[in-house]
Chain A
Amino acid sequence: MKFFVNGETVDASPQPGQVLRTVLRDLDHFEAKKGCDSGDCGACTVLLDGDPIHSCLYPAHRLEGARVTTVAGLGTPEAPLPLQKSFVDAAGFQCGFCTAGMIVTASTFSEEDLGDLPRLLKGNICRCTGYRSIRDAICGTTNTQTPAAGTAVGQSVRAPAGLRVATGREEFTLDFTTTGLAHLAVLGSPHAHARILSIDAASALALEGVHAVLTHLDSPATLFSTGRHEMRTDDPDDTLVLDPVLRFIGQRVAAVVADTVAIAERALDLITVEYEVLPGVFDPEAARAPGAPLLHADKGEAQRIAAPDRNVLAQMHGEMGDVDGAIAAADAVASGTWQTQRVHHAALETHATRGWLAADGRLVLRTSSQVPYLVRDELCHVFGLEPSRLRVFTARVGGGFGGKQELFTEDLVTLAVLRTGLAVQYEFTREDEFTIASPRHPMRVSVTLAATSDGTLTAMTVDQLMDTGAYGNHGIGVMYHSVHESISVYRCANKRVDAESVYTNNLPSGAFRGYGLGQVIFAMESAMDELARTLGIDPFELRRRNVIVPGDDMVVVDPHAESDLLIGSYGLDQCLDLVQGALAAGASPPEPVDGQGWRFGTGMALAMIASLPPRGHFADATVSLQADGDFEIGVGTVEFGSGTTTVHSQLVATALGTTVDRVRIRQSDTDVVEYDTGAFGSAGVVVAGKALLTAATALSALMLDRAYVLTGGSDGVIESGGVRVGERLVTAAELLEAGPLAASGHNDGTPRSVAFNVHGFRVAVDSATGEVRILQSVQAADAGTVLNPEQLRGQIEGGTAQGIGSALYEEMLLDGAGRVTTTAFRDYHVPRFADIPLTEVYFAETFDPLGPLGAKSMSEAPYNPVAPALANAIRDALGVRPHELPMSRDRIWRLVQG
């Protein structure tokens, strides 16, 4: 059939049952993104004869003569549509995966539609921004600047990839063509706990187009963890590429490699598996009780599993002082038990890897990962490869939020490529994301706080139980982190912590923004609020009396613990003042008018977070001068929406006296620099950024030295294009005549500092329906020097939006027997434009000597105080305290019913 794409006639012969999106991507129109494949997210939006539609739902057989327009047809980087330019100028995207669909959708809006955006954008999910900047983009508000040479730091510089993202040119993981590409599909376990007795794949192998069927018989025998850290010993060795024992529904039983996804999936139906079904356990409390079915009884200390005989992956029990005595002697005690749910990352780009053998025989993996170097190193460990044999890199990654600090697709692709010699792709579906990727750990957290009548904390106990699921990826680190900054932010002489991370036959949990802190902070800050009420002390004031201040040690339960964590700078006091002031200033809001049952409340909460992960985070970076005066930087950090790449270009441009457009970036590729631990734990700016700054500073000295020699002993200053010595500009080309000019930098991520966030809400709660309306949302952040105000604001708004999602809407549901029942966005509500209020964002003024130019990290942090601040506001409104997330309308309504 013939139809038109962006004005060009195309000839295509779609298969029956194919959709427009597939046809477009097969025609190399990669700008039609695949975010959900079910019409819920809007990333694939195109115009069909002028009307916006979701191309993942549109039957291709109807296309004869149709005119299709994608975001790439609306404009080019050289000649963008004003709307496309506006998305760049407004900083209207972060990862950019939703942007193509967002722009195509908005391109149909009239002037009068601008007042109707919540309704018109309910079919477009953005997980990163919190939508304020998208509103600005659509309404033509510019939030960014074009700084003069040498002044980029501290200004709202645009993302370097901006126009490419907005015109659909920027490549994400699978946005490129590989000839002869084979596809991999996985047969998932139908049982939550079973042993494979036999697998018969003969019929599947006989199917035309099938190249291989991989089973546990093909698996390397090396145990590993999908969770990745700088030290591989941070996670338990409890996982195999393909394991004969299945511990959760959906776990890999077999993988088929075939010419197409359709053939591979058909082949899965032809595999006959005989299982011995084993008893399962689905509740962490039951799992650690005597007699429970054991998941990893065949493993132990050598695999770093604390107590496999009671399904306990990790445990921490400690006490300082006399907690019980202090509680008995206290003037006031507040306690409670709080429960958090599983939260789905909802990065719009799913996990995916494409692998192939390069001409020199090396294995190359292009993957959607936050940690390409860690992936390379672990694959070398599991498959016994030399690091030089393996290259792992990423293009732009469509969102992470911790979910891509895992090895979910790379290992199978490695196995498949090594086995078949073919180029092989494995792409998670959205259903896979819900059922076999790793959501946020659900936690049950009990907190007791005791204080004297003047509000001095005298005792604190935390009892934390978390469901790590069938495997322990991040199940150790999340446990320790969850009870660290949540507790150590408060001075208290008597503290007790009991925490356990427990295996169950549910899907494995994993790293999620905040890394466990959000769950415990929800409980801790709720308990602090209750204590303030009991004491009759203002909640801001109670915090001021008890939070750590410069000079204090950060203590969990061991005052003598060795740590490289320091209060490098301190802005918590400012954050508390800023939020309290903003809430007071905003005290007369527009209030709901419909119905009589509205009640009003105010709440706040604080959060502290380490500026990067413990036990080492390393980055190498290079900067070199190019003949045209541009600089090329090499850095390991992946760009997945946090804006690190923008900041990197700012740091280099500032150090080298130039403008950001003259900084060319090579990144996130194990071939580019020696090493980079990766983009997690908010480390991109404070580790790789520091390494880059070191390199740029060194290069600057080299350039000045060479200019000094060239000009016969005169000192110059760096400026765009070369070195200015008196009247003369010694050009880059002249400087390079005596040989290349390049420098490298390294940072080892220690010592570490802490960042602070305080959030405040004023809400109206409809006691008749349970609806919560946010009347005012305020966050103050202590991020040290603000390197890029608009990006920082975007991170805080995005974290707030994700926090509001976790607090009010999002909930992965399981059936009690290990099966996830919410497997699509239509059944799992990620906040839409309509759900997110504007958040007032304030910055504390601090300077952190440990960070680059005084900056601290700020990507996970803004999420953490949101849920408790909202819970405290709802408590204030209703007089009853919520103890469970999400605080959905039905739960709030039930709370009111009593």
Chain B
Amino acid sequence: MDLIDVHEIRVPTTREGIRILPGEKALAGGTWLFSVKETGLTGLVDLTALDWEPVTRTESALVVSATCTIAELSRLTPRSLRTDPVRAGSGAESRLDPYALFWQCANSLLASFKIWNVATVGGNIALALPAGPMISLAASLDADVVIWAPDGTERRLPVATFVTGALTTSLRPGEVVREIVFPLSALSGRAGFRRIALSSLGRTGTLVIARVDPDGETVFTVTGGTSHPEQVRFDELPTASGLERRMRAIDSWYDDAHGPVDWRRAMSVRFAEQLRVELGGAI
């Protein structure tokens, strides 16, 4: 929709050009910003002309720019690993390869592939919706977010803690998300995925990803069902009761039109246990 209070849009092409004044917001794809009325939003700073390389690889990490589109990100999953979203959500179809997650999380967006052509990874994370699937992806793979501060410095923190609650993050005024750094170590083990919504392809009720790294470290990440990412970590695959005890200790369950707390908690606990078994845990 037209943003009627916006009277200026600046399109910087260099880092120095990024200045976000009071009343202004950084604009990436725009698929959220242009979908809601927002009073008092007077200006936008469009980050998409900075020409950030969507995806780069270093020796230890896969680096995804904030402005990488979801369409580009989804292609990180090779065709052979692309699952049907409904069957993947219920566990009827699983790949155990962490690279399957890019596709699965892209398909966890309420919006279709058309939105993927414009929406960005950084935008989805900075928006901090509980159901933001790029948060699910990045948090579950222990990715860091790299933030550019207006004074020219940058800082880096885990996506799992960057998102602090529904629509809140640790981003300070004037800061922008530059990139998401996925450590290759988290992509070299095994991972499983579960998701449920109140309709087959609807907005996430809860989404649980479990990951076992080559060194045995095991991480269960809950998003969607909680107001911010919740992670439960073990040095090795836990026992059923050990996992359940920790899952039940989570206390940030989220309540909105996409599912009540009791159901979201029950589904999350159930999914975690299914994933524990799927990844080789003793029954």
Contacts and interface: CB of A to CB of B under 8 A. Distances in A.
Partners in one complex: yes
Interface of A: 15-19, 22, 37-40, 42, 45, 48, 51-54, 56-59, 61-62, 105, 118-124, 261-262, 265-266, 429, 431, 593-595, 768-771, 808-809, 811, 813, 821-822, 824, 826-829, 831-832, 834-835, 888-890, 893-894
A121 B114 CA distance: 9
Given A16-B9, A826-B110, A889-B263, A52 B117 contact: yes
B263 A894 contact: yes
Contacts of A888: 198
A123 B114 contact: yes
Question: Which of B7, B91, B196, B202 has the most C-beta atoms of chain A within 10 angstroms of its own C-beta?
Answer: B202
Contact of B1 (A19, A123, A811): A19
Contacts of B31: 39, 54, 57
Given A826-B203, A827-B257, A16 B8 contact: yes
B114 A52 contact: yes
Contacts of B48: 62
B34 A123 contact: no
Nearest to A595: B90
A42 B115 CA distance: 10
Nearest to B271: A769
B107 A262 contact: no
A224 to B, nearest CB: 31
Contacts of B46: 59, 61-62
B201 A118 contact: yes
B263 A17 contact: no
Given A16-B43, A261-B2, 19 more contacts: A17-B9, A51-B117, A52-B114, A53-B118, A57-B118, A118-B201, A122-B201, A262-B4, A594-B91, A595-B90, A809-B198, A809-B202, A811-B257, A826-B110, A827-B256, A827-B257, A829-B199, A834-B201, A835-B199
Contacts of B167: none
Contacts of A266: 4-5
A19 B200 contact: no
B162 to A, nearest CB: 23
A595 B6 CA distance: 50
Contact of A39 (B90, B115, B196, B266): B115
A593 B113 contact: no
A592 to B, nearest CB: 8
Interface of B: 1-9, 11, 27, 30-31, 34-37, 43-44, 46, 48, 71, 84-87, 90-92, 107, 110-115, 117-118, 196, 198-203, 205, 256-260, 262-263, 266-267, 270
Nearest to B263: A890
Contacts, number: 160
Given A829-B202, A832-B199, A894-B263, A122 B112 contact: yes
Nearest to B200: A834
Contacts of B7: 16-17
B2 A262 contact: yes
Contacts of A22: 2
B9 A121 contact: no
A249 to B, nearest CB: 16
A890 to B, nearest CB: 4
A1 B202 CA distance: 38
Nearest to B258: A827
A889 B34 contact: no
Contacts of B256: 827
A400 B85 CA distance: 33
A894 B5 CA distance: 45
Contacts of A769: 196, 267, 270
A19 B92 contact: no
Nearest to B36: A38
A105 B118 CA distance: 15
Question: Which of B71, B111, B113, B256 has the most C-beta atoms of chain A within 10 angstroms of its own C-beta?
Answer: B113
A811 B34 CA distance: 25
Nearest to B117: A51
A526 B37 CA distance: 42
A23 to B, nearest CB: 10
Closest 5 pairs between A and B when the two form their complex, measured CB to CB: A123-B112, A17-B6, A594-B92, A17-B3, A890-B263
Contact of B113 (A61, A123, A808): A123
Nearest to A52: B114
A808 B200 CA distance: 11
Contacts of A39: 31, 34-35, 111, 115
Contact of A42 (B110, B114, B202, B203): B114
Contacts of A811: 257
A119 B35 contact: no
Nearest to A430: B1
A262 B4 CA distance: 6
Contacts of A119: 84-85, 107, 112-113, 201
Contacts of B35: 38-40, 56-57, 824
A15 B3 CA distance: 10
A634 to B, nearest CB: 39
Contacts of A809: 198-199, 202
B97 to A, nearest CB: 19
A104 to B, nearest CB: 9
A809 to B, nearest CB: 5
A121 B113 CA distance: 9
15 contacts: A16-B6, A16-B7, A17-B6, A19-B2, A54-B114, A57-B34, A62-B46, A118-B201, A120-B112, A262-B2, A262-B4, A431-B37, A824-B35, A824-B36, A890-B262
Given A122-B201, A828-B257, A834-B200, A893 B114 contact: no
Nearest to A821: B257
B219 to A, nearest CB: 24
B92 A890 contact: no
A179 to B, nearest CB: 21
A131 B161 CA distance: 42
Nearest to B37: A431
B44 A17 contact: yes
B36 A58 contact: no
Contacts of B260: 890
Contact of A18 (B2, B86, B263): B2
Contact of B9 (A59, A124, A889): A59
A593 B4 CA distance: 51
Contacts of B34: 19, 39, 56-59
Given A39-B34, A42-B114, A54-B114, A890 B198 contact: yes
Contacts of B203: 826-827
Contacts of A831: 199
Contacts of A61: 9, 11, 46
A813 B255 CA distance: 13
Nearest to B264: A890
Contacts of B2: 15, 17-19, 22, 261-262
B117 A53 contact: yes
A824 B266 CA distance: 27
Contacts of A821: 257
A121 B4 CA distance: 30
Nearest to B31: A57
B198 A57 contact: no
Contacts of B90: 594-595
Nearest to A46: B114
Contacts of B37: 431
